[in-house]
Chain A
Protein backbone atom coordinates (compact mmCIF):
# COMPACT_ATOMS: atom_id res chain seq x y z
CA UNK A 1 0.00 0.00 0.00
CA UNK A 2 1.23 3.45 -0.81
CA UNK A 3 1.98 5.86 1.98
CA UNK A 4 0.91 9.48 1.89
CA UNK A 5 4.25 10.87 0.71
CA UNK A 6 4.25 8.54 -2.29
CA UNK A 7 0.68 9.43 -3.11
CA UNK A 8 1.37 13.16 -2.94
CA UNK A 9 4.44 12.87 -5.17
CA UNK A 10 2.53 10.77 -7.73
CA UNK A 11 -0.47 13.10 -7.56
CA UNK A 12 1.80 16.05 -8.28
CA UNK A 13 3.32 14.18 -11.24
CA UNK A 14 -0.09 13.32 -12.70
CA UNK A 15 -1.33 16.88 -12.28
CA UNK A 16 1.76 18.40 -13.87
CA UNK A 17 1.38 15.99 -16.78
CA UNK A 18 -2.17 17.25 -17.35
CA UNK A 19 -1.07 20.83 -16.73
CA UNK A 20 1.74 20.52 -19.28
CA UNK A 21 -0.67 19.15 -21.90
CA UNK A 22 -3.17 21.94 -21.35
CA UNK A 23 -0.44 24.56 -21.36
CA UNK A 24 0.94 23.26 -24.68
CA UNK A 25 -2.51 23.42 -26.21
CA UNK A 26 -3.01 26.93 -24.81
CA UNK A 27 0.27 28.08 -26.37
CA UNK A 28 -0.81 26.48 -29.66
CA UNK A 29 2.20 24.20 -29.67
CA UNK A 30 0.11 21.03 -29.50
CA UNK A 31 -3.03 20.53 -31.51
CA UNK A 32 -6.05 19.21 -29.61
CA UNK A 33 -6.24 16.39 -32.10
CA UNK A 34 -2.96 14.97 -30.84
CA UNK A 35 -3.45 15.97 -27.23
CA UNK A 36 -6.31 13.55 -26.58
CA UNK A 37 -3.94 10.67 -25.85
CA UNK A 38 -1.90 12.77 -23.44
CA UNK A 39 -4.96 14.00 -21.58
CA UNK A 40 -6.11 10.38 -21.32
CA UNK A 41 -2.70 9.35 -20.00
CA UNK A 42 -2.80 12.06 -17.37
CA UNK A 43 -6.31 11.11 -16.28
CA UNK A 44 -5.35 7.41 -16.10
CA UNK A 45 -2.41 8.13 -13.82
CA UNK A 46 -4.63 10.37 -11.74
CA UNK A 47 -7.22 7.61 -11.33
CA UNK A 48 -4.62 5.11 -10.16
CA UNK A 49 -3.09 7.61 -7.75
CA UNK A 50 -6.43 8.50 -6.20
CA UNK A 51 -7.68 4.90 -6.12
CA UNK A 52 -4.67 2.61 -5.86
CA UNK A 53 -6.99 -0.23 -4.83
CA UNK A 54 -8.15 -0.38 -8.43
CA UNK A 55 -4.78 -1.88 -9.32
CA UNK A 56 -5.16 -4.59 -6.68
CA UNK A 57 -8.67 -5.45 -7.82
CA UNK A 58 -7.56 -5.63 -11.45
CA UNK A 59 -4.55 -7.81 -10.70
CA UNK A 60 -6.80 -10.07 -8.63
CA UNK A 61 -9.28 -10.49 -11.45
CA UNK A 62 -6.66 -11.18 -14.05
CA UNK A 63 -4.60 -13.38 -11.69
CA UNK A 64 -1.56 -11.32 -12.62
CA UNK A 65 1.20 -10.00 -10.47
CA UNK A 66 0.84 -6.23 -9.96
CA UNK A 67 4.24 -5.43 -11.49
CA UNK A 68 3.56 -7.63 -14.50
CA UNK A 69 0.16 -5.99 -14.92
CA UNK A 70 1.58 -2.46 -14.68
CA UNK A 71 4.40 -3.24 -17.12
CA UNK A 72 1.90 -4.71 -19.54
CA UNK A 73 -0.48 -1.74 -19.25
CA UNK A 74 2.42 0.71 -19.76
CA UNK A 75 3.62 -1.20 -22.80
CA UNK A 76 0.16 -1.25 -24.35
CA UNK A 77 -0.18 2.46 -23.77
CA UNK A 78 3.16 3.31 -25.35
CA UNK A 79 2.39 0.99 -28.27
CA UNK A 80 -0.92 2.79 -28.80
CA UNK A 81 0.83 6.17 -28.80
CA UNK A 82 3.48 5.00 -31.28
CA UNK A 83 0.80 3.49 -33.52
CA UNK A 84 -1.08 6.77 -33.44
CA UNK A 85 2.08 8.57 -34.53
CA UNK A 86 2.65 6.12 -37.37
CA UNK A 87 -0.84 6.84 -38.66
CA UNK A 88 -0.26 10.59 -38.40
CA UNK A 89 3.11 10.32 -40.17
CA UNK A 90 1.58 8.25 -42.98
CA UNK A 91 -1.14 10.82 -43.46
CA UNK A 92 1.38 13.62 -43.55
CA UNK A 93 3.74 11.96 -46.01
CA UNK A 94 0.79 11.35 -48.32
CA UNK A 95 -0.12 15.03 -48.07
CA UNK A 96 3.46 16.16 -48.56
CA UNK A 97 3.70 14.02 -51.69
CA UNK A 98 0.44 15.42 -53.02
CA UNK A 99 1.56 19.00 -52.36
CA UNK A 100 4.94 18.48 -54.05
CA UNK A 101 3.21 17.01 -57.10
CA UNK A 102 0.66 19.82 -57.30
CA UNK A 103 3.44 22.37 -56.96
CA UNK A 104 5.50 20.80 -59.76
CA UNK A 105 2.49 20.54 -62.08
CA UNK A 106 1.37 24.10 -61.36
CA UNK A 107 4.86 25.43 -62.01
CA UNK A 108 4.84 23.63 -65.34
CA UNK A 109 1.43 25.12 -66.11
CA UNK A 110 2.75 28.57 -65.22
CA UNK A 111 5.72 28.17 -67.54
CA UNK A 112 3.38 27.16 -70.37
CA UNK A 113 1.17 30.20 -69.78
CA UNK A 114 4.18 32.50 -69.68
CA UNK A 115 5.44 31.07 -72.97
CA UNK A 116 1.99 31.56 -74.53
CA UNK A 117 1.89 35.13 -73.26
CA UNK A 118 5.27 35.85 -74.80
CA UNK A 119 4.12 34.50 -78.15
CA UNK A 120 0.77 36.24 -78.30
CA UNK A 121 0.68 39.10 -75.81
CA UNK A 122 -2.69 40.66 -76.70
CA UNK A 123 -5.85 38.73 -75.88
CA UNK A 124 -4.76 35.12 -75.77
CA UNK A 125 -7.57 32.63 -76.23
CA UNK A 126 -9.00 31.64 -72.88
CA UNK A 127 -6.98 28.62 -71.77
CA UNK A 128 -8.78 25.38 -71.14
CA UNK A 129 -9.67 25.13 -67.45
CA UNK A 130 -7.55 22.71 -65.52
CA UNK A 131 -9.51 19.80 -64.05
CA UNK A 132 -9.97 20.16 -60.31
CA UNK A 133 -7.25 18.64 -58.17
CA UNK A 134 -7.81 14.99 -57.32
CA UNK A 135 -8.61 14.13 -53.77
CA UNK A 136 -6.30 11.48 -52.43
Chain B
Protein backbone atom coordinates (compact mmCIF):
# COMPACT_ATOMS: atom_id res chain seq x y z
CA UNK B 1 0.00 0.00 0.00
CA UNK B 2 3.06 2.15 -0.25
CA UNK B 3 2.49 4.28 -3.31
CA UNK B 4 5.84 6.00 -3.66
CA UNK B 5 8.91 4.50 -5.27
CA UNK B 6 12.03 5.43 -3.40
CA UNK B 7 15.36 3.99 -4.41
CA UNK B 8 16.29 1.72 -1.54
CA UNK B 9 19.88 0.62 -1.22
CA UNK B 10 20.10 -3.13 -1.73
CA UNK B 11 19.91 -4.75 1.66
CA UNK B 12 20.42 -8.29 2.76
CA UNK B 13 17.05 -9.86 3.45
CA UNK B 14 16.13 -10.09 7.09
CA UNK B 15 17.05 -13.43 8.64
CA UNK B 16 15.13 -14.26 11.78
CA UNK B 17 16.91 -17.62 12.14
CA UNK B 18 13.93 -19.31 13.69
CA UNK B 19 12.94 -16.46 15.95
CA UNK B 20 9.35 -15.22 15.89
CA UNK B 21 8.30 -11.60 15.59
CA UNK B 22 5.03 -9.84 16.40
CA UNK B 23 3.86 -6.39 15.35
CA UNK B 24 1.47 -4.84 17.86
CA UNK B 25 -0.94 -2.30 16.37
CA UNK B 26 -3.00 -0.51 19.03
CA UNK B 27 -6.21 0.80 17.46
CA UNK B 28 -9.05 2.85 18.82
CA UNK B 29 -11.81 3.70 16.33
CA UNK B 30 -9.50 3.32 13.33
CA UNK B 31 -11.87 1.32 11.11
CA UNK B 32 -11.04 3.52 8.10
CA UNK B 33 -7.27 3.17 8.28
CA UNK B 34 -6.65 -0.16 10.02
CA UNK B 35 -7.27 -2.40 6.98
CA UNK B 36 -4.67 -0.57 4.89
CA UNK B 37 -2.19 -0.62 7.77
CA UNK B 38 -2.58 -4.38 8.24
CA UNK B 39 -2.27 -5.12 4.50
CA UNK B 40 0.77 -2.84 4.38
CA UNK B 41 2.39 -4.84 7.18
CA UNK B 42 1.55 -8.21 5.66
CA UNK B 43 3.05 -7.12 2.36
CA UNK B 44 6.17 -5.30 3.51
CA UNK B 45 6.94 -7.18 6.72
CA UNK B 46 5.72 -10.72 5.98
CA UNK B 47 8.23 -12.13 8.47
CA UNK B 48 6.17 -10.84 11.40
CA UNK B 49 2.73 -11.74 12.73
CA UNK B 50 0.33 -8.81 13.06
CA UNK B 51 -1.69 -8.34 16.24
CA UNK B 52 -4.24 -5.55 16.34
CA UNK B 53 -5.22 -4.60 19.89
CA UNK B 54 -8.72 -3.22 19.53
CA UNK B 55 -8.91 -0.82 22.46
CA UNK B 56 -12.64 -0.88 23.05
CA UNK B 57 -13.50 0.74 19.72
CA UNK B 58 -17.14 1.58 19.05
CA UNK B 59 -16.72 1.29 15.27
CA UNK B 60 -15.77 -1.74 13.13
CA UNK B 61 -12.04 -1.62 13.86
CA UNK B 62 -11.92 -5.25 15.01
CA UNK B 63 -13.83 -6.60 12.01
CA UNK B 64 -11.80 -4.52 9.56
CA UNK B 65 -8.55 -5.78 11.05
CA UNK B 66 -9.69 -9.42 10.97
CA UNK B 67 -10.84 -9.04 7.37
CA UNK B 68 -7.37 -7.75 6.45
CA UNK B 69 -5.81 -10.84 8.00
CA UNK B 70 -4.57 -9.69 11.39
CA UNK B 71 -4.87 -11.47 14.70
CA UNK B 72 -7.14 -9.35 16.85
CA UNK B 73 -7.49 -9.04 20.60
CA UNK B 74 -10.53 -7.08 21.73
CA UNK B 75 -10.29 -5.18 25.00
CA UNK B 76 -13.68 -5.03 26.73
CA UNK B 77 -13.11 -1.42 27.80
CA UNK B 78 -10.99 1.44 26.48
CA UNK B 79 -7.69 1.34 28.36
CA UNK B 80 -5.84 4.08 26.48
CA UNK B 81 -2.63 3.74 24.50
CA UNK B 82 -0.49 2.46 27.39
CA UNK B 83 -2.88 -0.31 28.38
CA UNK B 84 -3.50 -1.32 24.77
CA UNK B 85 0.18 -1.56 23.88
CA UNK B 86 0.87 -3.51 27.06
CA UNK B 87 -1.83 -6.01 26.06
CA UNK B 88 0.23 -6.64 22.93
CA UNK B 89 3.40 -7.21 24.94
CA UNK B 90 1.52 -9.61 27.19
CA UNK B 91 0.32 -11.48 24.15
CA UNK B 92 3.91 -11.61 22.86
CA UNK B 93 5.12 -12.84 26.25
CA UNK B 94 2.50 -15.55 26.61
CA UNK B 95 2.84 -16.75 23.03
CA UNK B 96 6.64 -16.92 23.18
CA UNK B 97 7.53 -14.28 20.62
CA UNK B 98 11.20 -13.28 20.53
CA UNK B 99 10.65 -9.82 19.09
CA UNK B 100 7.74 -7.41 19.43
CA UNK B 101 7.21 -4.12 17.64
CA UNK B 102 4.78 -1.25 18.04
CA UNK B 103 3.19 0.21 14.95
CA UNK B 104 0.55 2.93 14.70
CA UNK B 105 -2.81 2.01 13.22
CA UNK B 106 -3.27 5.33 11.44
CA UNK B 107 -0.70 4.65 8.74
CA UNK B 108 2.08 7.04 9.67
CA UNK B 109 4.68 4.31 10.16
CA UNK B 110 6.37 2.50 7.27
CA UNK B 111 6.13 -1.29 7.37
CA UNK B 112 9.20 -1.64 5.16
CA UNK B 113 11.36 0.04 7.82
CA UNK B 114 10.44 -2.51 10.49
CA UNK B 115 13.43 -4.60 9.48
CA UNK B 116 15.70 -1.68 10.36
CA UNK B 117 14.34 -1.91 13.89
CA UNK B 118 14.75 -5.68 13.93
CA UNK B 119 18.37 -5.88 12.79
CA UNK B 120 20.11 -4.47 15.91
CA UNK B 121 17.95 -6.68 18.14
CA UNK B 122 18.68 -9.80 16.07
CA UNK B 123 22.38 -8.93 16.09
CA UNK B 124 22.14 -8.56 19.88
CA UNK B 125 23.37 -4.96 19.69
CA UNK B 126 20.33 -3.56 21.48
CA UNK B 127 17.40 -4.71 23.58
CA UNK B 128 15.10 -1.96 22.34
CA UNK B 129 15.23 0.02 19.10
CA UNK B 130 13.30 3.22 18.38
CA UNK B 131 12.74 4.66 14.90
CA UNK B 132 13.64 8.35 15.06
CA UNK B 133 12.32 10.92 12.60
CA UNK B 134 15.14 13.31 13.39
CA UNK B 135 18.25 11.15 13.11
CA UNK B 136 20.36 11.69 10.01
CA UNK B 137 20.66 10.76 7.18
CA UNK B 138 16.92 10.51 6.71
CA UNK B 139 16.21 13.23 9.23
CA UNK B 140 13.13 15.33 8.73
CA UNK B 141 11.95 18.29 10.75
CA UNK B 142 8.75 18.87 12.65
CA UNK B 143 7.21 22.28 12.37
CA UNK B 144 6.95 25.14 14.85
CA UNK B 145 5.78 24.44 18.35
CA UNK B 146 5.89 20.68 17.98
CA UNK B 147 9.57 20.87 17.07
CA UNK B 148 10.25 22.94 20.20
CA UNK B 149 8.28 20.50 22.35
CA UNK B 150 10.06 17.43 21.02
CA UNK B 151 13.45 19.14 21.44
CA UNK B 152 12.75 19.95 25.08
CA UNK B 153 11.43 16.48 25.76
CA UNK B 154 14.38 14.87 23.97
CA UNK B 155 16.74 16.95 26.08
CA UNK B 156 14.96 15.85 29.25
CA UNK B 157 15.00 12.15 28.37
CA UNK B 158 18.64 12.42 27.24
CA UNK B 159 19.53 14.11 30.51
CA UNK B 160 17.78 11.51 32.64
CA UNK B 161 19.17 8.51 30.76
CA UNK B 162 22.56 9.91 29.75
CA UNK B 163 21.88 8.71 26.20
CA UNK B 164 21.40 10.80 23.07
CA UNK B 165 17.68 10.54 22.38
CA UNK B 166 16.32 12.54 19.44
CA UNK B 167 12.72 11.34 19.12
CA UNK B 168 11.29 10.37 22.50
CA UNK B 169 7.65 10.44 21.33
CA UNK B 170 8.17 8.03 18.44
CA UNK B 171 5.78 5.09 18.71
CA UNK B 172 7.69 3.18 16.04
CA UNK B 173 9.80 0.84 18.13
CA UNK B 174 10.50 -2.72 19.08
CA UNK B 175 12.27 -4.92 21.55
CA UNK B 176 13.60 -8.37 22.24
CA UNK B 177 12.56 -10.95 24.78
CA UNK B 178 13.80 -9.03 27.82
CA UNK B 179 11.86 -5.92 26.78
CA UNK B 180 8.77 -8.01 26.08
CA UNK B 181 8.97 -9.47 29.55
CA UNK B 182 9.54 -6.08 31.18
CA UNK B 183 6.66 -4.41 29.34
CA UNK B 184 4.34 -7.37 29.89
CA UNK B 185 4.88 -6.78 33.57
CA UNK B 186 5.20 -2.98 33.79
CA UNK B 187 4.30 -0.42 31.16
CA UNK B 188 3.69 3.29 31.78
CA UNK B 189 0.12 4.40 31.36
CA UNK B 190 0.07 8.17 30.95
CA UNK B 191 2.77 9.09 28.40
CA UNK B 192 4.16 5.68 27.56
CA UNK B 193 6.55 6.59 24.72
CA UNK B 194 9.00 8.86 26.59
CA UNK B 195 8.41 7.20 29.95
CA UNK B 196 9.14 3.70 28.69
CA UNK B 197 12.54 4.84 27.37
CA UNK B 198 13.51 5.88 30.87
CA UNK B 199 12.10 2.62 32.26
CA UNK B 200 14.06 0.47 29.81
CA UNK B 201 17.29 2.32 30.47
CA UNK B 202 16.80 2.05 34.22
CA UNK B 203 16.39 -1.70 33.98
CA UNK B 204 19.86 -1.86 32.47
CA UNK B 205 18.62 -2.73 28.98
CA UNK B 206 20.29 -1.35 25.87
CA UNK B 207 18.43 1.36 23.98
CA UNK B 208 19.17 2.40 20.40
CA UNK B 209 17.70 4.87 17.91
CA UNK B 210 17.78 4.28 14.17
CA UNK B 211 16.70 6.76 11.47
CA UNK B 212 13.15 6.30 10.23
CA UNK B 213 10.96 8.47 8.07
CA UNK B 214 7.24 8.64 8.68
CA UNK B 215 4.23 9.56 6.58
CA UNK B 216 1.67 12.22 7.19
CA UNK B 217 -1.26 10.81 9.10
CA UNK B 218 -3.85 9.04 6.97
CA UNK B 219 -6.78 9.21 9.31
CA UNK B 220 -7.35 10.50 12.80
CA UNK B 221 -5.57 13.41 14.42
CA UNK B 222 -2.53 13.64 16.60
CA UNK B 223 -3.28 13.19 20.26
CA UNK B 224 -1.23 16.33 20.85
CA UNK B 225 -2.87 19.54 19.62
CA UNK B 226 -0.82 22.73 19.55
CA UNK B 227 -3.15 24.48 21.98
CA UNK B 228 -2.71 21.86 24.65
CA UNK B 229 0.98 21.58 23.86
CA UNK B 230 2.34 23.49 26.81
CA UNK B 231 0.12 21.70 29.30
CA UNK B 232 1.07 18.38 27.73
CA UNK B 233 4.78 19.22 27.87
CA UNK B 234 4.65 20.07 31.56
CA UNK B 235 2.87 16.82 32.36
CA UNK B 236 5.17 14.67 30.24
CA UNK B 237 8.29 16.25 31.71
CA UNK B 238 6.95 15.59 35.18
CA UNK B 239 6.06 12.00 34.24
CA UNK B 240 9.55 11.40 32.80
CA UNK B 241 11.21 12.76 35.92
CA UNK B 242 8.91 10.68 38.13
CA UNK B 243 9.71 7.59 36.09
CA UNK B 244 13.40 8.25 36.71
CA UNK B 245 12.76 8.39 40.46
CA UNK B 246 10.66 5.23 40.66
CA UNK B 247 12.10 2.07 42.13
CA UNK B 248 13.34 -0.45 39.54
CA UNK B 249 10.97 -3.24 38.58
CA UNK B 250 11.66 -6.69 39.99
CA UNK B 251 11.56 -8.95 36.96
CA UNK B 252 9.93 -12.29 37.65
CA UNK B 253 11.89 -15.35 36.69
CA UNK B 254 10.88 -16.48 33.24
CA UNK B 255 9.38 -19.94 33.22
CA UNK B 256 11.46 -22.31 31.18
Count of A interface residues, CB-CB < 8 Å = 16
Task: Please tell me if the beta carbons of B79 and A101 are within 8 angstroms of each other in the complex.
Answer: yes
Chain A interface (Cβ within 8 Å of chain B)? Answer: 93, 96-97, 100-101, 103-105, 107-108, 130-132, 134-136
Whether B132 is near chain A, meaning CB under 8 Å from some CB there, is: no
Interface residues on B, range: 20 to 34
Interface 9-mer from B19-27, B36-44, B82-90, B162-170:
B82-90
Given A131-B94, A134-B184, are A100 and B252 also a contact pair (CB < 8 Å)?
no
Q: Tell me whether A104 and B87 are in contact (CB under 8 A).
A: yes
- Pairwise interchain contact A105-B79, C-beta atoms closer than 8 A: no
> Distance (Å) between the CB of A136 and the closest chain B CB?
6
Q: Are A100 and B94 neighbours in the complex by a CB distance under 8 Å?
A: no
- Chain B minimum-CB-distance residue to A136: B185
Once bound together, how far apart are the Cα atoms of A107 and B79, in whole Å? 17
Report the Cα distance A28→B198, complex, angstroms: 43
Chain B residues whose C-beta falls within 8 Å of the C-beta of A131 in the assembled complex = 93-94, 255
Known contacts A100-B83, A130-B94, A134-B184, A105 near B73 by CB under 8 Å:
yes
A101 and B75 contact, CB distance less than 8 A: yes
**Chain B interface (Cβ < 8 Å from any Cβ of A):** 53, 71-77, 79, 83, 86-87, 90-91, 93-94, 184-186, 189, 252, 255
Chain A residue nearest to B249 (CB atoms) is: A136
With A100-B79, A101-B83, A136-B186 known as contacts, the answer to whether A108 contacts B252 (CB < 8 A) is no
10 contacts between A and B (CB under 8 A): A96-B77, A100-B75, A101-B79, A101-B83, A101-B86, A105-B73, A105-B94, A107-B74, A131-B93, A131-B94
- Tell me, in angstroms, the Cα distance from A135 to B87 when the chains sit together: 14
Looking at the assembled complex, report how far the CB atom of A108 sits from the nearest CB atom of chain B, in whole angstroms: 5
Q: How far is the CB of B62 from chain A (nearest CB, A)?
A: 11
B88 → A minimal CB distance (Å): 10
Q: Is the CB of B76 within 8 A of A104?
A: yes
- In this complex, the member of A93, A130, A131 whose beta carbon has the largest number of chain B beta carbons within 10 angstroms is A131
Q: How far is the CB of A63 from chain B (nearest CB, A)?
A: 36
Closest CB in chain A relative to B230 CB, distance in Å = 25
